[in-house]
Structure 1
Amino acid sequence: MIRFECDYLEGAPVQVLEAIAKANLEQHPGYGFDPHSDHAKDLIRQACRSPQAGVYFLVGGTQANLIVLAAGLKPYQGVIAPQTSHIFNHETGAIEATGHKILSVETKDGKLTAQQVKEVCRSYWNETHKLFFVQPGMVYVSQTTEVGTMYSKAELAAIYDVCKEYHMKLFVDGARLGYALEAPGSDMTLADLPQLCSVFTIGGTKQGALFGEAVVVMDDELSREFPYHIKQRGGLMAKGWLLGVQYEALFTDDLYLKLAKHAADLAVKVHDGLKSAGFDFYFDHMTNQQLPVLTQAQFEALSREYSFDLFAALPDGRIAARICTSWATKQEDVEKLLSDLKKLK
């Protein structure tokens, strides 16, 4: 079975494993107060060109999301997010369990617009009895989105302007950030993110780490208080050096972006191969989550040898499948997949 259903199927590249093995029998202070974590944070600040940024390491994406939102929202506030967002659909009510409502917005392509955010805020602040409603206090977007689409620099900047106008924070979930940065058509670099939002994550779980997410906080008040929220929410890992040493490896010699480019290049190969074979797309884009539309028969035939995510069942009976590339995807597996797909047309 050749698996394409997600981008966290393998462990980690050899550089990360060797770094962990090398540090394995060293003695490290606990809870991330170790030289590896300090160095990794400095490397991330350098890559972001933000020497004053707060950098914090957490184990996984849901943990990072709920801690960021719980830390950034007042008790009576909620977060504006797309209906397709990870926090709305795939986190088992984790955000609501922190006591905060998700103010969901329907989108055409998985992306919030500045105008949509403004409309939610205007509706709240123009409400005569606003005291009885959840106040928007933060905006959540992901780069890439859950349907694989990307925000441009101008789109994020426009949303951030609205956030500042209404005294809200903007949180960019970067679980797949590297894959977005290296995708064709991206006009954004890692160094742009600190100017485009209040807080963002740099995903590790899906992008070469065994586990781990880096939270980069630009908001001074949030950064000061964030360590307390990490501990209170159970996110402070005793062997924190295991997170630090992985990001130290990922941000040495541009490994993080090199791994992301591998996935991005193969995603283009998958996309172009599908298009040339005549397949439609649920959302047509060039990022690492490709969403071709298959008939039931095509899906079942391919499923005998390949594993996909059934992304959506369409009204006409066809299926939108998700084909993910990652840092570890093999070119020969992509070529075999495309060859077999062409036989089904």
Structure 2
Amino acid sequence: MTYSFRDDYSEGCHPEILAALSDANLVQQDPYGDDEFSAAARELICARLGQTSAVHFVASGTMANLLIISSVLKPFEAVISVQGGHIAEHEAGAIERAGHKVIIAPGEHGKLRPEDIRNAVAENTMPPHMARPKLVYISNATETGLAYRKSELKALRVACDTLGLWLMMDGARLGAAMVSKASDLTWPDLAKLTDIFWIGGTKAGALLGEAIVFNKGELAEDFAFHIKQRGAMISKGRVLGLQFKTLFEKDLFDSGALHAHAQAKILSDAMIAAGYKLSCPTETNQLFPILPLALVEKLERDFAFHRWGAVGTDHMEIRLVTSWATDPDQVARFVSALG
């Protein structure tokens, strides 16, 4: 059986979360997210932010993005995304299906820059004949595994304020970004510099679940109706709340991300030591080495990973992803197979 480095959600959930779900299994709670566990999880999240924000729990990342974007935009408004952004390429046109144009900006290594935002707005300004840009979408960590710096997020905030745009952060891998040595962002920074962001639980050790955080109260108004209309309000909301309570109460969110980082660094260092190039620096739990095709085929006998794209005729860029559950022995086995 091959060992998978395809993603960071191949396992079920952290044993402590499973234990918490089991321990609370027969404890009666109010439905639809009005339970004690969800309330405690909201308090823990707001404590990290240093402010009171509206927090809603949903089951998946695509659901979070769709709900946020469709709720804050008017029918004629559009969202700006970097090329390769999750909403642009990996959500089956969910945003467009909801009636909103996704304006693609080039960016750099998966990051949006202020000039990308300014250019996107300038190229889409002909009211009422063109969809009006209103929301900027970024991911942290990015799809290329990079983490935003505080200065970068500040610059995006200034650009958005100048142009009258909302700033939204997809946090599917926010845990990996926040513990990255490359990032100086704090949780209060997220509260001050974004209008909306969400915290990924699925890739942080939860069975499933994401926490949507509104830092601008007016944007959260009536959001529960959007959740309900989109079929995203589950009667047993306790399942989501209890997982986030456990992730933050027991510090699993950070410790799991740190473990993933450590294993990714071992793999990244081994690639560099063996003389192989990376398409971008390894800052979180994703790495993108460029390997000879013959080596890729050899590694595929024992390991699963994504082929990211051909480089020339005899090399292949691959993606390796580590997680809170990555087995260090399997990492060592992969490193050994390189040589």
| Corresponding letter in the other structure for 2:87 | I
Q: Flag structure 1 segments of 5+ consecutive residues without an equivalent.
A: none
State the Cα deviation string for residues 111-152 of structure 1 (Å, max 9, x = none): 110111012223334xxx431001001000000111112211
1-structure distance, mates of 2:219, 2:170: 16
Return the match for 2:141 from 135, 139, 144. 144
State the Cα deviation string for residues 290-327 of structure 1 (Å, max 9, x = none): 11111221111000000011112223442111111100
User: 1:298 aligns to what SS in structure 2?
Assistant: helix
Return the match for 1:131 from 128, 131, 139. 128
1-structure distance, mates of 2:137, 2:31: 31
Q: Does 1:282 align with 2:283?
A: no
Q: Is the 8 A contact 2:106 2:116 kept in 1?
A: no
User: 1:11 aligns to what SS in structure 2?
Assistant: coil
Q: Which residue of 2 aligns with 1:61?
A: 61
State the Cα deviation string for residues 70-113 of structure 1 (Å, max 9, x = none): 01111100100011101111100011011001000122311110
State the Cα deviation string for residues 166-224 of structure 1 (Å, max 9, x = none): 22111100000010111221111223211111000110011110000000111111112
2-structure distance, mates of 1:95, 1:223: 19
Report the count of equivalent residues.
Answer: 338
2-structure distance, mates of 1:181, 1:220: 24
User: 2:240 aligns to what SS in structure 1?
Assistant: helix
1-structure distance, mates of 2:250, 2:37: 16
Q: Does 1:82 align with 2:79?
A: no
Q: Is the 8 A contact 1:271 1:286 kept in 2?
A: no
Return the match for 2:234 from 216, 233, 237. 237
Q: Is the 8 A contact 2:79 2:101 kept in 1?
A: yes
Q: Which residue of 2 aligns with 1:19?
A: 20
When residues 317 and 135 of structure 1 are mapped into structure 2, their CA distance, relative to the original with a 3 A threshold, is farther
Displacement after TM superposition at 1:164 (Å): 1.5
Q: Does 1:196 align with 2:207?
A: no
Select between 147-156 and 88-97 the one with higher mean Cα deviation.
147-156
| Corresponding letter in the other structure for 1:219 | K
Q: Which residue of 2 aligns with 1:103?
A: 103
1-structure distance, mates of 2:194, 2:306: 31
TM-score (norm 1): 0.95
1-structure distance, mates of 2:262, 2:280: 18
2-structure distance, mates of 1:180, 1:216: 17
Select between 92-101 and 22-31 the one with higher mean Cα deviation.
22-31
Q: Which residue of 2 aligns with 1:47?
A: 48
Q: Does 1:2 align with 2:11?
A: no
User: 1:336 aligns to what SS in structure 2?
Assistant: helix
Q: Which residue of 1 aligns with 2:308?
A: 311
Displacement after TM superposition at 1:335 (Å): 1.1
Select between 116-125 and 26-35 the one with higher mean Cα deviation.
116-125
Q: Which residue of 2 aligns with 1:254?
A: 251
Correspondence list, 1:264-283, <5 A: 264-283=261-280
Correspondence list, 1:287-298, <5 A: 287-298=284-295
Displacement after TM superposition at 1:258 (Å): 1.1
| Corresponding letter in the other structure for 1:111 | K
Select between 240-249 and 221-230 the one with higher mean Cα deviation.
221-230
| Corresponding letter in the other structure for 1:24 | N
Quote the sequence identity (%): 38
State the Cα deviation string for residues 234-292 of structure 1 (Å, max 9, x = none): 11111100000000100113221111111112111111111111111122223111111
User: 1:130 aligns to what SS in structure 2?
Assistant: coil
Q: Flag structure 2 segments of 5+ consecutive residues without an equivalent.
A: none
2-structure distance, mates of 1:196, 1:264: 25
User: 1:251 aligns to what SS in structure 2?
Assistant: helix
2-structure distance, mates of 1:155, 1:265: 25
2-structure distance, mates of 1:317, 1:135: 44
Q: Which residue of 2 aligns with 1:116?
A: 116
Alpha-carbon RMSD: 1.1
2-structure distance, mates of 1:265, 1:142: 22
2-structure distance, mates of 1:4, 1:261: 17
